[in-house]
Amino acid sequence: MIELIPAIDLLHGKCVRLAQGDYAAPTVYDSNPLDVARRFEDHGIRRLHLVDLDGARAGHVVHYRVLEQLAARTSLTIDFGGGLKRQHDAEIAFNSGAHMITGGSIAVKDPETFAAWIATFGSDRIILGADVRDGRIAVSGWEETTALEWRPFVQDYYNKGIRKIISTDIRRDGMLQGPSISLYKELREAFPQSYVIASGGVAGVDDIDALHNAGIPAVIFGKAFYEGRIGLNDLRRFTQPNTV
C-alpha cells in the first residue's frame, strides 16, 4: 500500500503552499501548523513532510521551534527539509525531533557535507531531494535550475548508499494537474532498491490510486488537501501500517 505523506510548508511560521516554488505568491492555509498536524494524525496518517521555506531562502534552519512542537505533541514520523546547509543544521533538525532530513541544495552545492551526513547519521535517516524542472535538478527553494541532469545526479548518491528519494516535478507542483508518473517510474526502474517518494501535482484520490498502481512506494500531497479536493476520510483505505 502506498504510504501517504502530507506536507506542511512553513513560511513566516504559517502553513502555506507555493505554486511552482514562487515565494512572491504564497497561499496561507492555516496559521497553526500543530492543528494541521494533529488532524492528519487523528485520521491515521503516520508521516509528515515538514518544509522550512524561510530556511531554504536564508541558508540555515529557521523554524526548528515548530519542528520541536510537532515532534513533542504528535506521534508523527517527521522528515524535515529547508535550510540544511551545514553539519550544525542537520544536528539542529535531529535534536529538534526530526526522524529524517531531506537534502537537496546541499547535495548539489556541498556534496562532501551531504556524503558525510550519510556516513554519520545513516542512509536510513537521510533523504535525497531530487527536484526536477525540465529534466534538470533545481535547488535553493527552486529559485535556481542547475545544469545537472537528474539521472546521473541520483546515480552518484545511490552509489553512496542513498535509498530514499523525494522527487518533485516542479512544473506540476501546486498546479493540481496530476503527478509526473513517468518520472517516478523511471526513477524506480533506474534505481530498483530505492524508496521513491512522489511529490507535486496530486489533484485528488485518483492520482494517489494511479501512483499506487504504478508501484510508487509513497506520495507527498498538500494543495489538494488544503483546497478540499482530498478529504482525510477518503484516505483511510490507504492508511495501513507501512515500513520505510
What's the rounded Cα separation, in Å, for the pair 15 and 9? 6
Which candidate in 131, 169, 173, 207 is catalytic? Answer: 131
226, containing H or E segment: helix 223-226
What's the rounded Cα separation, in Å, for the pair 28 and 17? 7
Q: Is 22 a catalytic site residue?
A: no
3-state secondary structure 117-142: HHHHHCHHHEEEECCEECCEEEECCC
Which candidate in 9, 52, 54, 79 is catalytic? Answer: 9
Closest CA to 54 of 74, 33, 34: 33
What's the rounded Cα separation, in Å, for the pair 189 and 200? 20
Q: Is 234 a catalytic site residue?
A: no
CA–CA distances in Å: residue 151 to residues 132, 155, 157? 10, 6, 10
What's the rounded Cα separation, in Å, for the pair 75 and 93? 16
* 76 backbone dihedrals φ, ψ, rounded to 5°: -65, 140
Q: For residue 132, list its beta bridge partners.
A: 137, 169
Please list the active-site residues. Answer: 9, 131
